[in-house]
Structure 1
Amino acid sequence: MRTGLTCAFVCLSLFFSAAVFAEQPVVAKRITSAPQIDGHADESFWQQIAPVTVNDVVAKIPLQLKAAHDGEHLYFLVEFPDADESRLHRALVWKPELNSYQNGPTREDSFVLKWAMSGQDADLTLSSDRPYRADVWYWKAHRTDHAGYADDKIQHYTTSRSKKSLLLLSKSGKVFYLLRNGDKGSSAYKPKLQAAYTENQVAKYDLVEPGGSRADVRAKGYWQDGRWTIEFARKLQTGNDDDLQMNLDGQYLFGVSRYEIAGRQPEPETESDVPLFGSGEVGELLRLSFQP
C-alpha cells in the first residue's frame, strides 16, 4: 500500500513539473456600471475587452478571460468549450445489494480562480518547492451556481501536516501538504441523510443560500451550444482576513483551472461522467492590474 501511494505521488509531481508555466498580464478595464451577474455577458463593455487566452494544462482546452472593475468591485468573464452541460454532483444511486445509497457517476462542471496570498513570486502549482497560501474562488455548476455564488475558500500548501491534509511531492521531491478550507460562514450546499429507499437516484445535497465570508464571490454560469460562460464579481476590499484584499494600484498573481484543484492524480476517473474532475491544476500564471 505504501509503495502504491508513493508511486502515485511521484507520478503526480512529474506530471505537473513537466508543464510549462508562463506569466501574462490581465488588465481590468474600468467601467461605469456594474454588469448583471447572470452568465449572459449582454453588457456592451464585455464586447470591447480583448480576451486573454490561457491553455488549461489538464483539460487541454483554451480558457478565455476578461476582467473589469468599477472602483469597488472586480468582475471576471470566463468562457470555455464543453460538449456537455453537467449540473448534477455525486447524485446518490440506490444499491440493492448494499441496501443503501452510494455516490453515483454524476460530476458537476466547475471553474477555479486561484489567487496568491503570500507574495507575488509564488508559482501556485501543486508541485511548488515553496509553501504558499491562496484565495480560491470555486464555481460549481450544481452546488453553488443555483444561489449565484462561487465557493470562497483558502488553500494552504505547507510543509506542516494537519488533519485532512493531502500529501504531495514537489518538483524536487520535497514533501508538502495541501489543505483547503471554506472561508468563515456557511456554504451553499449541505449533505443530506438518505437512509431509506425512495427512488433509484436522489440528490446528495440540500441547496441553500451561503453566508458570511464564504459568500463573498458572486458567480453565475450559462451553458449553450457546447460552451460555458461564467461571470464573477467580488468586492476589492471584503474586510475578511481569509480573503485577498485588493487595491487599484496593486498587482495580483493568479491562475485558473477548468477542474477542481484537489491534488488528485491526472488520470481519468473512469466511473464518473466528468473523468478529470478533481485533477485540475494551475498552468500559465497571470498578473492582474487595474485600469485607472
Structure 2
Amino acid sequence: MSERSKSPLWILIHSAAVVAVFFSLFSGLRIGTLSSTAVASIDELLPQGEVHSVHFISAILLSLATLSYLTSRFQRFLNPKEQSKPRSFSYHRTVTWAGIFLTGIALISGWMLFSGTGSLTIIRLIHFYTAAGLCAYIFLHGGVYLVQFGCHALLLIMQPSRSTNRLLFILPVSLCLFLFGGWYLLNEYSHHALPVTKISSNTFIDIDGMASEPQWQKAQTLTLSTDGGANFYNGRSDVQLKALQNGQEIFFHITWQDPDESLAHLPLKKTAEGWEILQSGYETFDEKSHYEDKFAILLSENCSFAAAGTAHLGQSPLADKPANWHGKGYHYSTSEQLHDLWHWKAVRTNKMYLADDNFIGKPDKVRPGARRYTAGYQQDSKESGAYRMNWKWYSPTTITPKRLPAKIDQLAPYQYSLPHSQSPDWTISWFDYQPYSSSHDQFPLGTLMPSVLYTSNRFEGDRADVRARGIWRDGHWSLELVRKLDTGSSQDIPIVDGICMWVSAFDRAQIAHTRHSRAIQLSFDKTL
C-alpha cells in the first residue's frame, strides 16, 4: 500500500464494497445453513431472522460499487494520460485482481440464482465456493495489510486526496446505469407470471389429479426450477403450474419431478424391546427418510422476498420464544398481515381429497406441554375430522401404539422394504383396529405397521377449504387443487388478480423442501 492519499472515488467504492461483502457473506452463509451441514457447523456466528432482504440489498450495493469501479477503469482506458505503465509482479496486486474476479463471479451467479436461469444446482455450488473464496480473499488482502502496516493501514485507506473530478463524473454515470439496470430487472424479473385462464362457471373440473379436461390443455404453463430440497436429484425439482378460474373458484394443476412415490410415513416396527418409530431425524423435526411426499403453496398479498417476508432463519429468531430443534428457523409474520398456506400431504390428506388449509400469522403463544413450537405456522380451525399418530406418547426409543389390528394378516400389505414402499394406502382406520393391549400384541419381530390413524374420512370447517388430489406416475406427481376465490374466512385471503404465491416440494422430508427466490404472481384473464 502506497503512502499517497486515495481519491474520494476510490475511498467511496472501496468502503461500499467492504460493507456490501461483509453483509452479503454473513447473510448468505445463514441462507446456506438450510442445505449445507458444513455451514451449519458455524451457526452461532451467523445472523438470524429475515436475512434474505439483507442479502438482496447488499447484492445491490455491491453491484453498484462494481459498476462504479468498471466505469472508472473504462474512463481511465479512454484517457491516455491516466493509463499506467506495465508493473512488475506484486503480491497485493495479484490478490486484488483475484478478489475482483471472485466478486464478479459471485455477482453473476447470484443474479442468475435470483432470476432462476441456468442449472440452479451448479450455479448455487459456484456461488457457494465463490463466497468461500471471498472469505479467503479478505484474510489474504485485508489481513496481510493489517499485519504489514497495523492500524495505520486504516488511516492510509481513508486519507482522501483533494481531486474530486473523477468522482463527479463516475458516480452520476454509474448511478444512471445502475438505476436503468435495476428498473429493467425489477420489471422483467421481479416475479414469475402465472396466467389464470378464465373458464365458464358451468364447466366441471374433476379434482382427481389427472387434469384430463380440455380446459387444462388450453391453459398456459409456467415452468420454474426449485432446488435446495432433500432426496431430490441434486436437491432440484422442476415445477409446472397451470391455473383456471370461473369467477367463483380457482383451480391449480401442478406437476413436479420426484424420483419415487414415498408413502411410508413414520412406520412402526416391532422389536424385541417393543414398538419403535422408524425415523432418522423426527426427534428434531427434520425427518428425511421415513416420511411422506408433500407439496406446499403459500399465497400472500405481499410479493416481497423470503416468502413474503415470513422466512426467519436461525435457531432462535424470536428471542422471547422457544428455539427450534432443527436450527433452520421459523415462519411468521412481523405485521398483522395473514398469509395463506396450503399443505398437501401424500398420506395424511390425499385420501381425504384435501390439502391441509393452514396460515402464517404473528408468532403464536407458547403452549405448555406442547413438544413443538411452530411460531406463525398454524392450522385453520375445524369442526371435526382428523388423523392421529398411532402412539400414546412420543419417544425416540420405544412407544406404545394406541391401536392394533384385530388380525395379524391385516398388516401383510405393509411388509416391504423401506423407505420407498409403494403400498396403496399407508393409513389405517381407527375403527378397524382395536385398543392396544399387551396380551394381543403377539406380532412377529420385524412387523411393520402404519402410524397414521384416520378417525374420520375428512376435515370439516375452515381447514377443509382446499380440495386436492395427487397421483404419482413415472417420476412425477400430478396434483389438482381448488378453492373458492373468497371463502369469507378470517383465516384465508381472497384470491384476486396480482396475488403472489410460492411453491415447495418435499421428497419424503418433513421440512427440507425445495424453494425459489422470486414470487409467482397470478395474472387473471379478463376474457372468456
**Fold in common (TM above 0.5):** yes
Partner residue in 1 for 2:208: 38
Letter in 2 for 1:237: D
Partner residue in 2 for 1:290: 524
Q: Would you tell me which structure has more helix in proportion to its own residues?
A: 2
Gaps of 5+ in 2: 1-39, 56-109, 116-189, 230-235, 280-288, 318-332, 392-400, 402-435
Partner residue in 2 for 1:270: none
Other structure's SS at 1:211 match:
coil
Q: C-alpha displacement at 1:6, in angstroms?
A: 7.6
Q: C-alpha displacement at 1:82, in angstroms?
A: 1.4
Q: C-alpha displacement at 1:229, in angstroms?
A: 0.5
Are the aligned partners of 1:28 and 1:69 in contact in 2 as well (CA < 8 Å)?
yes
Partner residue in 1 for 2:292: 108
Tell me which of 467, 470, 484 is aligned to 1:218: 467
Partner residue in 1 for 2:247: 71
Are the aligned partners of 2:357 and 2:462 in contact in 1 as well (CA < 8 Å)?
yes
Structure 2 CA distance for partners of 1:198 and 1:87, relative to 1, 3 Å? farther
Letter in 2 for 1:279: A
Letter in 2 for 1:280: H
- CA RMSD for the aligned pairs? 3.1
Other structure's SS at 2:376 match:
strand
Partner residue in 2 for 1:267: none
* 1:54 is the counterpart of 2:224: yes
Q: C-alpha displacement at 1:291, in angstroms?
A: 1.3
Are the aligned partners of 1:221 and 1:229 in contact in 2 as well (CA < 8 Å)?
yes
* Higher relative contact order (Cα pairs below 8 Å, separated by 6+ residues): 1
Q: C-alpha separation between the residues in 2 aligned to 1:228 and 1:165? A: 30
Are the aligned partners of 1:187 and 1:214 in contact in 2 as well (CA < 8 Å)?
no
Partner residue in 1 for 2:376: 179
Q: C-alpha displacement at 1:14, in angstroms?
A: 11
Are the aligned partners of 1:123 and 1:285 in contact in 2 as well (CA < 8 Å)?
no
Q: C-alpha separation between the residues in 2 aligned to 1:5 and 1:241? A: 41
Q: C-alpha separation between the residues in 2 aligned to 1:134 and 1:103? A: 33
Q: C-alpha displacement at 1:215, in angstroms?
A: 0.2
TM-score (norm 1): 0.77
Q: C-alpha separation between the residues in 1 aligned to 2:256 and 2:48? A: 25
Larger Rg: 2
TM-score (norm 2): 0.44
Tell me which of 319, 344, 348 is aligned to 1:143: 348
Letter in 1 for 2:468: A
Letter in 1 for 2:513: G
Q: C-alpha displacement at 1:76, in angstroms?
A: 0.2
Gaps of 5+ in 1: 167-177, 260-272
Identity %: 25
Q: C-alpha separation between the residues in 2 aligned to 1:155 and 1:143? A: 20
Per-residue displacement from partner, 1:35-86 (whole Å, max 9, x unpaired)?
1000011101111122101211324121000000111000000011112111
Structure 2 CA distance for partners of 1:126 and 1:149, relative to 1, 3 Å? same
Letter in 2 for 1:102: I
Partner residue in 1 for 2:357: 152
Partner residue in 1 for 2:197: 29
Matches within 5 A, 1:205-284: 205-207=452-454, 208-247=457-496, 250-259=497-506, 274=508, 276-280=509-513, 282-283=515-516, 284=518
Q: C-alpha displacement at 1:113, in angstroms?
A: 0.5
Are the aligned partners of 2:305 and 2:519 in contact in 1 as well (CA < 8 Å)?
no
Q: C-alpha separation between the residues in 1 aligned to 2:356 and 2:346? A: 11
Per-residue displacement from partner, 1:141-197 (whole Å, max 9, x unpaired)?
000000100000012365x8744435xxxxxxxxxxx43111000454222341554
Q: C-alpha separation between the residues in 2 aligned to 1:93 and 1:12? A: 38
